[in-house]
Amino acid sequence: MFIEEENNKKAMAESLMKILALMVLDVLTILVAMTGSLWIRFDFSFTAIDPIFLESVEKYLIINLIMTLSLNAIFHLYTSLWRFASINELRNIICAVVLSAVLQEMGMVFLSLPMPRSYPFLYVLLLLVMMVANRYSYRIFHILRYRYGPGRNQRPVRTMIVGAGAAGYMILKEMKTSKHLNRVIPCIIDDNPKKKKTYLGGVPVVGSREYIPEAVEKYHIEEIVIAIPTMSGEERKKLLNICQQTACKIKILPGIYQMVNEEVDVSMLRDVEIEDLLGRDPVELDMGDVVQYIQGRVILVTGGGGSIGSEICRQVAMHNPRRLIIVDIYENNAYDIQNELKERFPKLDLIVLIASVRNERRIEAIFREYRPDIVYHAAAHKHVPLMEDSPNEAIKNNVLGTFLVAKMADRYHAYKMVLISTDKAVRPTNIMGASKRICELIVESFAQNSETIYSAVRFGNVLGSNGSVIPLFRRQIEQGGPVTVTHPDIIRYFMTIPEAVSLVLQCGASATGGEIFILDMGEPVRIADLARKMIRLSGHIPDQDIKIVYTGLRPGEKLYEELLIDEKNLKPTRNEKIYVVQLTPVDGEKIRNKVEMLVRAAFDEASDIRERVKELVPEYVIRPANAASEAAVTEESGGIAGKGREKKQSYEISSD
């Protein structure tokens, strides 16, 4: 505290010294302007000046000094940051000088002090020129100092700005004046043909985006800065594809709906992320409905420490729930999201519980004590290859967990339950996708005879989530490669985590019971192209600096994912980006009976678990290699069917 006070005192003293120095400079400037005007009037000869005019200057000098210095203070000429002086500061100088001349003329007339008729005009001219010079010379000095002074021995980075608008100008201005940025701007790119061959801040606008590769060669550009905050996702993708034809490092100004007070600076620039290259505009959702149905309610999120579950918690916390309950089996993730939410939302009533969704007694105890109104079920095993090696675990965690949460939501009269599903549930070729399809069937079966509103949200891959290829590619690139892709033609749909969660919340608000909500995810992305783009973003050349190696499809993996089983059942919603599938009604009791037998078999470590899954999900395609593989044996069952039955409480399902 003492050090901070000392620093504040030192800063105030320095500021006061600068103000006093400017005032002394202004006193000299005013004196020169008054006498210099007479000197010019009398043909640049002091001896020719009539003594009566010099007496007038002498008599009015003190008054003029007081009035002019006061005007300078009123127009902030002593408190402006002249290093960043702009048109606004120039306007203030002009106003202060003109008012000073007007008041001086009025004062001299009032005091009957004779002066030549040309004096006021010469006074304004001289005072204005000198005031502008002594103020703006400070800025010019700093520009020259930062550009050519100590610390500028390193060669500046040759940077090209894309966008000759307001944002581009502000980025250009700061790059030219900042002592922290060693940049030289040889050219600017803009698509507006009217701006071609014009200058922005002294820098030529040389052409449209198609000219970028040629301009990079011609001007030896090393870095490209994209300063078009209003650009759509599709346009951004096209522009970045052109920029990636070069070997330049690319930075981008994030989208800004409006620039308040033109507050745009270099600190807003960020490296281009893979999300920018996908070219998808964020889905606009009606968050008013979300606020209305979350506000004041008790929200339970299972798997709340995971990538999707934690984002659900963040967005729910923003909409003022009465209480937020996070359930997760992994304590580290739960601890991280707990600390984050406590810091960001100190008034939030937050409960964080360690529990397994496979433990019926624990889940019932949570529902009985906290009586959640809305349940988001995100807890699940999601890694396809791992579940192929341990198929029974997929059934225990995904199927049994969903059944128990759905059952308790019904028993304790929750208002709504939303299941987080996946595109891998459509015509599944892996046990993870098939288990999530069974979860959808469970939700549909409960929706038929319950007061609770059940629904599921199905979407594709989520950028940056646990298990996503993005973190894997990043690690491989950091290690110098190779980057491993399973197949050159494999494609996937992608979306961002916040967008996926906004969809979940919106669909939960819109659900009436038994629906599967689906997002229009745009065009699918070829994973090999994604890998190449990420390598380029890192400043390397694909297949030269960093190799791409094709490893073959993993167990249960298919070349492309689908979001729908039958497009005839697809119906639009109020949001053009969101669709709903009302599937054929299922026999709820039959589903629950089959699920119970399936879970029993999983805890008995049945080797034919895939065939049993296919009875529930006929469209599930069992690959020969998968069918021949043995089911993993876990410590929970000890590999003995009899012991699995002894632990009946941990897995047995009752349909009451």
* Among candidate residues 547, 548, 537, the one with its CA nearest the CA of residue 248: 537
Q: Using CB atoms within 10 A of its CB, is residue 478 exposed (0-12), middle (13-18) or buried (19+)?
A: exposed
Residue with tokens 């529902």: 367
342 is a catalytic site residue: no
Q: How far apart are CA 628 and CA 417, in angstroms?
A: 37
AA letter at 333: N
Please check whether residue 7 is in contact with residue 100, taking contact to mean a CB–CB distance below 8 angstroms.
no
> What single DSSP character describes residue 546?
B
Please check whether residue 55 is in contact with residue 13, taking contact to mean a CB–CB distance below 8 angstroms.
no
Q: How far apart are CA 292 and CA 280, in angstroms?
A: 28
Alpha helices in 479-556 (DSSP H): 497-510, 527-537
Choice among 407, 416, 424, 436 that is catalytic: 424
Q: How far apart are CA 28 and CA 26, in angstroms?
A: 5
Q: How far apart are CA 606 and CA 639, in angstroms?
A: 10
Bridge partners for 458 per DSSP:
518
> What single DSSP character describes residue 548?
E
Q: Residue 475: how many CB atoms within 10 A of its CB?
A: 10
What does the block give as tokens for 603?
A: 């805890």
Q: Which long-range contacts (CB under 8 A, 24 or more apart) does 120-128 make?
A: 122/36, 122/37, 122/40, 122/41, 123/33, 123/34, 123/37, 124/97, 124/98, 126/32, 126/33, 126/36, 126/37, 126/40, 127/29, 127/30, 127/33, 127/97, 127/100, 127/101, 128/93, 128/94, 128/97
* Among candidate residues 451, 450, 437, 290, the one with its CA nearest the CA of residue 376: 290
Please check whether residue 328 is in contact with residue 379, taking contact to mean a CB–CB distance below 8 angstroms.
yes
Residue 211 sits at the vertex; the CA angle it makes with 205 and 213, to the nearest 5 degrees, is 120
- Give the chain's length: 656
Residue with tokens 């009123």: 74
Q: Using CB atoms within 10 A of its CB, is residue 512 exposed (0-12), middle (13-18) or buried (19+)?
A: exposed
Please check whether residue 93 is in contact with residue 132, taking contact to mean a CB–CB distance below 8 angstroms.
yes
* Among candidate residues 211, 179, 280, 229, the one with its CA nearest the CA of residue 522: 280
Please check whether residue 420 is in contact with residue 376, taking contact to mean a CB–CB distance below 8 angstroms.
yes
Helix (H, G, I), strand (E, B) or coil at 633: coil
Q: How many CA atoms lie within 13 A of 571 on its CB side?
A: 9
Q: How far apart are CA 436 and CA 422, in angstroms?
A: 7
DSSP string covering 398-461: IIIHHHHHHHHHHHTT-SEEEEE--GGGSS-SSHHHHHHHHHHHHHHHHHHS-SSEEEEEE--E
Q: How far apart are CA 16 and CA 21, in angstroms?
A: 9
Known catalytic residues?
A: 424
